Structure 1
Amino acid sequence: MSDAIKHECGLAFIRLRKPFSHFLQKYGTVMYGINKLYLLMEKQHNRGQDGAGFASVKLNAEPGYPFMHRMRSIANQPIADIFAKVGAEVAELEKYQPDMLKHPGLAKGHLPFLGELLLGHLRYGTQGKNDVAFCHPFIKKDIRPSRNLALAGNFNLVNTEELFDLVNIDPGEFQKQSDLAAMMEVIHHFLVKEDEKENEKPDIKAVLQKSASLFDGGYHIGGIIGNGHSFVMRDANGIRPSYYYIHEDFIVAASERAAIRTTFNVGENEVLELMPGNAIIIDDHGNYSIEQILEPKERRACSFERIYFSRGNDEKIYRERIALGHKLSKPVLEAIEYDLKNTIVSYIPNTAEVAYFGMVKGMEEYLNQIKVQRIMSWDKDFDEEKLTEMITRKIRQEKLTIKDVKMRTFITEDVSRQDMVQHVYDITYGTLRPNLDTLVVIDDSIVRGTTLRESIIRMLGRLKPKKIIVVSSAPQIRYPDCYGIDMSKMGDFIAFQAAIELLKERDQRAMLTELYKECKELQRTNQLHSKNVVRGVYAPFTPQEISDKIAQMITPQGLNIPVQVIYQTIEDLHESCPTNTGDWYFTGNYPTPGGNKVCNKAFMNYMEGKNVRGY
């Protein structure tokens, strides 16, 4: 993605179902669980580079001894930082007791994080500062083990303020900035209520049902409790991804299927998807059940997971990204007027690479059809040279763009800063024929368009192509997200900016004032959640008109090379990614009422000149 956005976090959960002596005997180490948690987190490090956290619970700890531990980090490499500290504790222990790890009971007593319940988290902050205090897991401590809770998740809630009111808590400044804090308070509130019943076996299902019925948002959460119970739960629309694997020795859950498969070397069909509204609930003996916590609603799994966020080594995601690119080959061929001889195709590093393969595949299929037709038309009128020339024709592919990842715009002066931004990407010189070749570059999505305008298009312009065509494997991003992605300011979206410019050009700017008044009236009657008013901004225009205006807006001033933008269609998106139909950032069709409220509020902020988040 050329315009980086903050996005989904990652969850890693492991419940060891056998004593440490079993893992020592079978796997050769009492550190099996911690080692696997480290791998499970590293295999999802794409999901969070702001920070990481790790919590554990020890079963059957002696009274008076700590049973819950937590460590968090916002170091440059937070996962490595956390587990290096755990490793240092092990090294210190082995220094004085070399055989300690061969004695499971003693090792458990001396190593703080050697617990049977393990919860890891990778943070990409969508709200709150990049401060270690905002890193998951959050914990609630109490003298009674059954009221100690560590909670982490991949989510955003849009009704945080209401949640604090429901449990009669006046939030502090920190809590106001964290939806996890609100979720924690609600779950812990009902957990304490359940504990007050003094039941021998707490009803975790009931706790989750009472809690989750109050949440408005998309979420995948994991919790470990001081008495040995634990759970993993997914929202009713299945917005956030959730996968699990059951083994006789352990139970695992994570945000990505491929992370579990790689860490535990298991087949695709062995890793299951946790269905929307369901939870895995595990008791203090390691027995588990899959429980329906909320009535499943229309499945609206986030399509951005397939387009961009999840790692592409999952075979289904890989095929879907190939399909996204393949769908774009026809409009690209039309845009270049089928002139493959004078066209070079490339991608903007690096997440668009798989979609690029799919686009090239579609173009190759067309080229092969042409080859067959031409050869058939020759009848027998050809020689070896003529035939060789035809069958060796290929799609011209080059790696044109190189990203200097470490480059930072350290100067704040506008002119100097703009000059620096131009050089975040670099090009491969000598790859095309000036004024003759058309350049086609694919990106996975276009959010703000800033990097395209200030860096990539300028850079490609130095090669002096005949034309530049920018292709997006995602449709136009038009609306805010409030379920995990940090896209909540209307003015940030190049598609919204394009619609505003078109309204100005057509003397329809008064429409914005009318839509704003409608939002204010809905707010006055507490109905801001009932309708997505912002759709009216785009209603007068076709997708092509918006695309054409975006092309103008991302063309740097003074560049005399034509620029065209081709977007994925909504229909082709859904056909390519049939199980992830969540498309609210493209269509404005939000799965929960809170989505409409956030969208309308973001529009009101824009109209009022407020550069703040929509929730």
Structure 2
Amino acid sequence: MCGIVGVVSNAPVNQLIYDALLLLQHRGQDAAGIVTQQDRKFFMHKAKGMVRDAFRTRDMRALPGHSGLGQVRYPTAGDAFSEEEAQPFYVNAPFGVVLVHNGNLTNAQALKTELFSTDHRHINTESDSEVLLNVLAHELERATRGNALGPDQVFEAVAHVHRRVRGSYAVIAQIAGHGMVAFRDPYGIRPLIFGRGPDGGVMVASESVALEGTGFTPERDVAPGEALFVPLDGTAHTRQCAAQTQLSPCIFEFVYLARPDSVLDGMSVYQARLNLGQTLAKRVVSTVPPSEIDVVIPIPESSRPSATELARLLGKPYREGFVKNRYVGRTFIMPGQGVRKKSVRQKLNAIASEFAGRNVLLVDDSIVRGTTSKEIVQMAREAGANKVYMASAAPPVRHPNVYGIDMPTRQELVAHDRSVEQIREMIGADALIYQDVEAMKRAVGQLNPSVAGFEASCFDGVYVTGDISDSDIARMNDQRIKTGEDDEDTSRLNLPKATAA
């Protein structure tokens, strides 16, 4: 999962891209990069860390030009600690192309072999984004043999990319001296939206909040399989480039990943989370009588909308029982569960008065490994709770994700091969209530009837691209970011929650 942005404007774009990346910071904190274009020359700066740490005044001054790209990185494959694998990526032929990518290619290894043996292109990192860049560059070269580069050639190249590439990909690229191209995989798994600014410039980004927060007016989402080409004069050309398409956005964007003030594929993330709270309330009532619940407390922060709606429907008080330390930063993994517990307590502190002598219903957006949930339940008991019930706004996470979310392997998932009762015992709750898979899909899907379905593989085990086998999952697990005892925790559980701040 990453956050990407691209701009073609009539004014310098370095500050604009920087501001947009700040608005997308929740999508990645491991590295940030910006590239700008002036007089057919690219200027690039990328570094490890968050946006505010990666760029200094001198770096911004070295990024001139009226068009450019940016990315915040949350790696799911390759080397998390190599600046070489931070984006944007650059290749000098044809024309000069830079690219940012959000997603994960499921056939990256086969493509890498094909690029070397057939296309005679060299891949220098373990990043699938570099593979994707070289596939696009090769297809642009083929489409422009004997022709000048124009919209037709760009769209022909993207059509060939769709034929070769599998997996999830939202892509923005700049072609030196020509303009910006953006496209989305035929299933629309990862989000991508574009809009116009007051000066007529065009911005493409992962979430609508990046446009709105920088003064751009969202126009519409890039459709699955569609490509957008914006020459440097700011005109916009679009074309459907995939033979078969099906809008199946990742439902985890609505559960956890996206900011609540974003709208993805015509669906409000905030409203989706309210709807999840409504359906979860029905599950709670069937498990725990409301008379046995004194208070509803969210686990900060993306569970708050679901928790508020659940509390309203149960007729119970909603209280903030945990305070999150926003400044603790990324924590480190060391041997033993004791350190993992310590990291949870560094990030959250219980307000004892909200727990003392009460039966509390804790609400989280999802439960993945279960170690965090276990520690939070224990914190509630230590704060004086009489009984602790746990509710998850998402169903049990039973399967790995292969489309760009760093989910643990099956063996690390607390719900893998365990019943709800077994999970309840593991985390130490008096009751455990999960969202229903189909109810989750209906709750979000009702916001846009044109959505054919959702990519919900981590919940239902159905991989929408239809090309994933157990051996593929095993291979991709081997490529996941590895963490040692002195490495940063890059799991989804250690991401700061998406907020509107």
* TM-score after normalising by structure 1: 0.70
- Distance in 1 (alpha carbons) for counterparts of 2:70 and 2:386: 51
2:107 maps to: 159
Deviation at 1:401, TM superposition (A): 2.1
Q: Deviations over 1:246-300 (max 9, x none)?
A: 456211110001221221153xxx4311110001012354332111111343321
Deviation at 1:43, TM superposition (A): 1.1
Tell me which protein shows more strand as a share of its residues: 2
- Distance in 2 (alpha carbons) for counterparts of 1:587 and 1:127: 23
The alignment status of 1:56 with 2:16, answered yes or no, reads no
Query: Which of 427, 430, 433 pairs up with 1:566?
Result: 433
- The 1:361–1:295 alpha-carbon spacing in structure 2 relative to 1, beyond 3 Å, is farther
Deviation at 1:336, TM superposition (A): 3.2
- Check the 8 A contact 1:490/1:602 in 2, yes or no: no
Deviation at 1:404, TM superposition (A): 4.2
Deviation at 1:225, TM superposition (A): 0.9
- The 1:213–1:417 alpha-carbon spacing in structure 2 relative to 1, beyond 3 Å, is same
1:220 maps to: 170
- Distance in 2 (alpha carbons) for counterparts of 1:271 and 1:48: 25
- Distance in 2 (alpha carbons) for counterparts of 1:237 and 1:44: 22
Alignment of 1:207-356 (within 5 A): 207-246=157-196, 249-264=200-215, 266=217, 270-314=218-262, 316-339=268-291, 343-356=294-307
- Distance in 1 (alpha carbons) for counterparts of 2:170 and 2:337: 44
- Distance in 1 (alpha carbons) for counterparts of 2:337 and 2:242: 54
2:376 maps to: 456
- Distance in 1 (alpha carbons) for counterparts of 2:330 and 2:458: 29
- Distance in 1 (alpha carbons) for counterparts of 2:149 and 2:300: 56
3-state SS of 2:209 partner: helix
- Distance in 2 (alpha carbons) for counterparts of 1:119 and 1:45: 15
Query: Which of 33, 40, 43 pairs up with 2:23?
Result: 43
The alignment status of 1:438 with 2:359, answered yes or no, reads yes
1:588 maps to: 461
Gaps of 5+ in 1: 1-7, 19-29, 62-66, 90-111, 365-394, 499-545, 556-561, 606-610
Deviation at 1:191, TM superposition (A): 2.2
The alignment status of 1:78 with 2:51, answered yes or no, reads yes
- Check the 8 A contact 1:409/1:417 in 2, yes or no: no
- Check the 8 A contact 1:488/1:602 in 2, yes or no: no
Question: 2:6 corresponds to which letter in structure 1?
Answer: F
Tell me which protein shows more helix as a share of its residues: 1
Query: Which of 1, 7, 11 pairs up with 1:14?
Result: 7
- Check the 8 A contact 2:162/2:225 in 1, yes or no: no
- Distance in 2 (alpha carbons) for counterparts of 1:345 and 1:289: 50
- Check the 8 A contact 1:11/1:255 in 2, yes or no: yes
Q: Deviations over 1:172-199 (max 9, x none)?
A: 8853x21012112211122223344243
Deviation at 1:120, TM superposition (A): 0.8
- Distance in 1 (alpha carbons) for counterparts of 2:477 and 2:181: 39
- Check the 8 A contact 1:236/1:297 in 2, yes or no: yes
- Distance in 2 (alpha carbons) for counterparts of 1:238 and 1:204: 19
- Distance in 1 (alpha carbons) for counterparts of 2:42 and 2:14: 15
Query: Which of 23, 39, 43 pairs up with 1:69?
Result: 43
Query: Which of 404, 410, 430 pairs up with 1:484?
Result: 404
3-state SS of 1:136 partner: coil
- Distance in 2 (alpha carbons) for counterparts of 1:419 and 1:246: 46
- Distance in 1 (alpha carbons) for counterparts of 2:394 and 2:172: 30
- Distance in 1 (alpha carbons) for counterparts of 2:476 and 2:2: 26
Q: Deviations over 1:103-129 (max 9, x none)?
A: xxxxxxxxx522232111110111122
The alignment status of 1:188 with 2:137, answered yes or no, reads yes
Question: 2:274 corresponds to which letter in structure 1?
Answer: I
Query: Sequence identity, in percent?
Result: 22
- Distance in 1 (alpha carbons) for counterparts of 2:20 and 2:362: 34
3-state SS of 1:593 partner: coil
Alignment of 1:123-138 (within 5 A): 123-129=73-79, 130-138=81-89
- The 1:410–1:190 alpha-carbon spacing in structure 2 relative to 1, beyond 3 Å, is closer
- Distance in 2 (alpha carbons) for counterparts of 1:422 and 1:257: 31
Q: Deviations over 1:275-333 (max 9, x none)?
A: 10001012354332111111343321000111111100136111111111121122223
- Check the 8 A contact 1:254/1:260 in 2, yes or no: yes
3-state SS of 2:406 partner: coil
Root-mean-square deviation (Å):
2.7
The alignment status of 1:400 with 2:321, answered yes or no, reads yes
Q: Deviations over 1:475-520 (max 9, x none)?
A: 111111111101151111111152xxxxxxxxxxxxxxxxxxxxxx
- Distance in 2 (alpha carbons) for counterparts of 1:414 and 1:259: 39
2:310 maps to: 359
- Check the 8 A contact 1:244/1:254 in 2, yes or no: yes
3-state SS of 1:241 partner: coil
2:413 maps to: 493
- The 1:442–1:68 alpha-carbon spacing in structure 2 relative to 1, beyond 3 Å, is same
Alignment of 1:358-437 (within 5 A): 358-364=309-315, 395-404=316-325, 406=328, 412=334, 414=336, 417=339, 420-421=342-343, 423-424=345-346, 425-434=348-357, 437=358
Deviation at 1:602, TM superposition (A): 6.8
Deviation at 1:84, TM superposition (A): 2.9
- The 1:52–1:421 alpha-carbon spacing in structure 2 relative to 1, beyond 3 Å, is closer
2:392 maps to: 472
- The 1:55–1:412 alpha-carbon spacing in structure 2 relative to 1, beyond 3 Å, is closer
- Check the 8 A contact 2:402/2:473 in 1, yes or no: no
3-state SS of 1:323 partner: helix
Query: Which of 435, 438, 444 pairs up with 1:577?
Result: 444
- The 1:420–1:261 alpha-carbon spacing in structure 2 relative to 1, beyond 3 Å, is closer
Q: Deviations over 1:344-399 (max 9, x none)?
A: 210111121111112122223xxxxxxxxxxxxxxxxxxxxxxxxxxxxxx23332
3-state SS of 1:324 partner: helix
Question: 2:174 corresponds to which letter in structure 1?
Answer: I
- Distance in 1 (alpha carbons) for counterparts of 2:431 and 2:4: 39
* TM-score after normalising by structure 2: 0.85
- Distance in 1 (alpha carbons) for counterparts of 2:193 and 2:162: 19
- The 1:418–1:116 alpha-carbon spacing in structure 2 relative to 1, beyond 3 Å, is closer
1:203 maps to: 153
- The 1:123–1:325 alpha-carbon spacing in structure 2 relative to 1, beyond 3 Å, is same
- Check the 8 A contact 2:121/2:134 in 1, yes or no: no
- Check the 8 A contact 2:33/2:71 in 1, yes or no: yes
- Check the 8 A contact 2:115/2:121 in 1, yes or no: no
Gaps of 5+ in 2: 446-450, 479-483, 485-489, 491-501
- Check the 8 A contact 1:481/1:595 in 2, yes or no: no
- Check the 8 A contact 1:590/1:596 in 2, yes or no: no
- Distance in 2 (alpha carbons) for counterparts of 1:488 and 1:432: 32
- Check the 8 A contact 2:88/2:100 in 1, yes or no: yes
